[in-house]
């Protein structure tokens, strides 16, 4: 069956990440700024009339019950549609990198299937489903770079200057829960304000998770050192293990160690699928 949609799922960078406290339920309070970049997965969607949900890995194999499949099943259940889908995934964003690849795939799946299945769910309804899949999914659904607070659910769209970044993913990955459960993690950063960040978007703050990540994963330090040797000030994104640095001139990346995934990326002003769901609330059972 002919693919009806071929769409992009972009990665993100955390320009900074501060941990400002911890709730009684164990969730950490944070402040961050998420920027979309043009390192993307590509998803191919084919309508199935039999109600089945299937996935084909066009590159590296993914877990059987990954976020793409879970997102499709969640939207199917919430809408009650009898339709199904076959999804082909060209996975390029590295896993366990702090770049939001899985959450971005889930968001693009929800947006694509909302159109493919002609559901007319609102953006708010999709975000409610997305939040149950992962804290970063509503950001990718929102379609705009954002100031992020709370446990990641409070999003304020922000306009950021364009940037070009050298992103380096060491061979090792990092599990988010290992960093957040570490007793040495700094959890008392002072609360920042948006205007302070906007005044120096690419130099503001730090990543409070980075020191723990470097202790747990030597590859993070090696990647930062490789950037420093090129005169670049690197910083980890999210919970790692990928790091990045802003690039202001042409740079040769051919000498990167073979164990690294290295890519020059441009920032995106908006998500490729912005506008694929309206922000008008609709009443649909189950959402």
One-letter-per-residue 3-state SS of the chain: CCCCEEEEEEEEEEEEEEEEEECCCCCEEEEEEEEEEEEEEEEEEEEECCCCEEEEECCCCCCCCCHHHHHHHHHHHHHCCCCEEEEEEECCCCCCCCCCHHHHHHHHHHHHHHHHCCCCCCHHHHHHHHHHHCCCHHHHHHCECEEEEECCCEEEECCCCCCEEEEEECCCCCCHHHHHCCCCCCCCCCCCCHHHHHCCCCCCCCECCHHHHHHHCHHHHHHHHHHHCCCCCCEECCCCCCEEEECCCCCCCCCCCCCCEEEEEEECCECCCCCCCCCCCCCCCCC
Residues belonging to the active site: 12, 136
């Amino acid at each position: 069956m002919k693919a009806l949609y071929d769409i992009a799922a972009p990665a993100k960078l955390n320009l900074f990440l501060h941990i400002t406290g911890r709730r009684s339920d164990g969730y950490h309070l944070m402040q961050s700024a998420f920027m979309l970049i043009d390192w993307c997965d590509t998803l191919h969607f084919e309508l199935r009339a039999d109600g089945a949900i299937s996935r084909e890995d066009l590159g590296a194999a993914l877990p059987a019950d990954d976020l793409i499949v879970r997102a499709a099943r969640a939207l199917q259940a919430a809408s009650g549609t009898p339709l199904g889908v076959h999804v082909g995934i060209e996975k390029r964003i590295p896993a366990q990198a702090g770049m939001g690849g899985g959450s971005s795939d889930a968001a693009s799946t929800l947006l694509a299937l909302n159109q493919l299945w002609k559901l007319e769910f609102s953006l708010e309804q999709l975000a409610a489903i997305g939040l149950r899949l992962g804290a970063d999914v509503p950001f990718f659904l929102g379609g705009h770079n954002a100031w992020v607070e709370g446990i990641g659910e409070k999003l304020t769209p922000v306009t950021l200057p364009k940037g070009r970044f050298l992103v380096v993913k060491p061979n090792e990955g990092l599990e988010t829960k290992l960093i957040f459960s570490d007793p040495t993690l700094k959890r008392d950063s002072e609360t920042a304000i948006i205007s302070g960040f906007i005044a120096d978007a690419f130099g503001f703050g730090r990543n409070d998770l980075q020191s723990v990540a470097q202790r747990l994963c030597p590859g993070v330090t090696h990647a930062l050192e490789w950037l420093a040797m090129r005169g670049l000030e690197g910083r980890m994104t999210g919970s790692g293990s990928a790091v990045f640095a802003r690039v202001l001139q042409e740079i040769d990346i051919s000498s990167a160690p073979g164990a690294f995934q290295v890519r020059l990326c441009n920032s995106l002003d908006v998500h490729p699928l912005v506008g694929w769901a309206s922000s008008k609330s609709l009443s649909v059972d189950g959402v």
